[in-house]
Amino acid sequence: MSGGVVGARAASLTFMLGCPSHNGDGHGKLPKRVAPILGLMGKKVVHMGGSGAGVAGKLANNYLLAVSNIATAEAMNLGIKLGLDPHQLADLINGSSGQCWSSSVNNPIEGVSPDAPVEKGFDGGFAVGLMRKDLGLAMKAARESGAELELAKRAEEVYEHVEDSEGMKDFSVVYRWLERRNVGGTVKMVR
């Protein structure tokens, strides 16, 4: 499943299934049978294929999440350092091509996403250590399958540093880690 603590609270999780499409006797469609039950906890159930396909989908999804979370933190940090209002910047990103789950639902800036972990000091949510674990699993799967993941090693290093300095906070705490590493003052590019 995907959607984290925020999705669980809102019953908006996405479930990815890897299972046979029949119930053993060749008649029923197992994914259709379990979808109503999973629908009580989420908004979407996706049958990815046979056994293991759900895990493969989760690994690919969480790899993208790991990278997009860092990119969201960097983009917000960049815009703020360039003198932009963080809420206007988030509004721009979330209404444009840069929009992603990390920018719209789990934004690391206070007041942007009302239920995001930043509103509780980055407590709760999906811990940095869990993101490191999922990223490691995706990297292992990539090595085994021959898939190239150009950004994975650097993302792994970032999450390692973040976990060392921030502990088991929500993985969106990458923003605070970056902010503390900033050098120099803000450059006002806007008047």
Query: 1 by DSSP, 3-state: which?
Result: coil
Query: Which listed residue (58, 120, 153, 169) is catalytic?
Result: 58
Comparing C-alpha atoms, which of 1, 7, 11 is closest to residue 106? 7
Q: Which residues partner with 170 through β-bridges?
A: 127
HSE toward the beta carbon, residue 111, CA cutoff 13 A = 6
Structure tokens at 109: 């800036």
Chain centroid to CA 23: 33
Q: What is the DSSP string of 112-160?
A: TSTTSGGGGTT-SSSBHHHHHHHHHHHHHHHHHHT---TTHHHHHHHHH
Degrees to nearest 5, angle at CA 143 with 128 and 73: 30
Query: 75 by DSSP, 3-state: which?
Result: helix
* Conformation bin of residue 26: beta by default, left when phi > 0, alpha when psi is -120 to 50: left
Residue 32 annotated in active site: no
Enumerate the active-site residues.
58
